[in-house]
Amino acid sequence: MSQWEYKVVPAPTKGTKAHGVKGPEGRFANALQSLMNDMGREGWEYQRAETLPSIERSGLTGSTTEWRNVLVFRRAVADAIDDFEPELLPAPTPETAVSKKPADPPMTAATQPAAETEEASAETTADETNAQK
């Protein structure tokens, strides 16, 4: 799955002069073309232009909404999983493939046989009786 990183830059507001470019529209197109070619050389792919609101202060306590034109670019980011190369383990040999019987788990009060539990509780009751006398 590809992941992307995005870059948003302000759209040019003024055209730039160039040889053979005439008129304000041509200069503006030249400024836009230069910006897009520069971003393309850095690996950024043009996505779209957006006009978005920006609330800005005006005066001491007031605010106004200014509309900003921006250009959105994106480029692919290498996934960390793409950089991961698993190490293959050697195939098991007949000696290592033989399974060993697991050790028995330690005995607890819940897993002890009933006879041992009854004897232990009888001894505890006898000790308590002797202590009360």
Give every CB contact of residue 109 below 8 A, 6+ residues apart in sequence. Answer: 117
Answer positive or negative: Cα dihedral of 65, 71, 72, 75: negative
Identity of the highest mean pLDDT range in 30-44, 70-84, 101-115: 30-44
Tens-digit pLDDT profile for residues 102-133: 666 666 666 666 555 555 555 655 555 555 55
Q: For the residues 61-72, what does the mean pLDDT come to?
A: 96
